[in-house]
Amino acid sequence: MNVVEPCPFAGFQKPFEKARYAVFGVPFDGTVSYRPGQRFAPNSIRSSSAQLETVSLRFGVDLEDVEFSDIGDVGI
């Protein structure tokens, strides 16, 4: 897997070696039949994630406590 440009999801992340989960983007328009643009989704999701509320009272989880690492986009 060729991974490029690590960008933090939600503005924070753990080092990859200490993460329990990895998040990565797949910028790919290859299967679209009408309106291309899906390739922009990973960066749009990362940008929008800065607005997320990190604490979920319903599930009793704080996103800052989840050990994940955003390893960037897969090079296709």
Q: What average pLDDT is seen over the chain?
A: 85
pLDDT for res 57? 94
pLDDT for res 27? 93
Please say if the pLDDT value at position 3 is more than 80. no
Dihedral through CA 16, CA 18, CA 22, CA 23, nearest 10? Answer: -70
pLDDT for res 4? 47
Could you give the CA distance from residue 26 to residue 45 in angstroms, rounded to a whole number? 12
Q: How confident is the model at residue 41 (pLDDT cuts 50, 70, 90)?
A: very high
Read off the pLDDT of each residue in 33-49 and give the average, rounded to a whole number.
Answer: 90
pLDDT for res 62? 92
